[in-house]
């Protein structure tokens, strides 16, 4: 068995490197930032679901906990995910204000407005 492992070790390392090089461009595309903000709009929405993030407490070291809300927007009826601070919880069914940030790339991001 040991002879088999040493014989094919270089082959396995070569296959792994080949796959990693092939996936590298996809990784950079997934990490692409949405670009500069070209416009903002305040929209009203209702909270449909809330959970604490991160789900695993071991991941929260150095980051802290926050809430992740699923908010149904009033104007388009789309469901968006918005992160909120732990100090200001919102209950399911409550009305919140969300800032829609439109980016040059065409993507929209959302930010919960406190107050």
CB atoms within 10 A of CB 84: 21
Q: Does domain 37-113 have CATH number 2.40.160?
A: no
Task: Give the chain's length.
Answer: 115
Buried b / exposed e along 61-82 (16+ C-beta atoms within 10 A): eeeeeebebbbebeeeeeebeb
pTM over 0.85: no
Distance CA 63, CA 106 (A): 29
pLDDT tens-digit readout, 17-76? 766 666 666 665 555 666 788 999 999 999 999 888 776 666 656 666 788 999 999 999
pLDDT digits (tens, 9 = 90+) for 73-111: 999 999 999 988 877 788 899 999 999 999 988 888 898
Q: What ranges in the chain are assigned the alpha helix state H?
A: 2-30
Q: What's 58's DSSP letter?
A: G
**Which position has the token pair 């929405």?**
45
**Cβ(17)–Cβ(76) under 8 Å?**
no
Domain residues of the chain, as ranges?
1-32, 37-113
- Which residues, in sequence order, are bridge partners of residue 110? 100
């Amino acid at each position: 068995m040991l002879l088999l492992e040493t014989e094919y070790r270089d082959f396995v390392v070569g296959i792994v490197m080949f796959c990693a090089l092939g996936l590298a461009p996809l990784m950079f595309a997934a990490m692409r930032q949405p670009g500069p903000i070209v416009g903002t709009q305040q929209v009203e929405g209702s909270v449909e679901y809330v959970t604490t993030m991160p789900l695993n407490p071991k991941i929260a070291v150095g980051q802290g906990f926050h809430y992740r809300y699923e908010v149904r927007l009033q104007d388009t009826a789309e469901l968006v995910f918005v992160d909120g601070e732990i100090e200001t919880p919102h209950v399911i069914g409550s009305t919140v204000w969300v800032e829609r940030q439109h980016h040059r790339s065409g993507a929209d991001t959302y930010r919960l407005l406190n107050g």
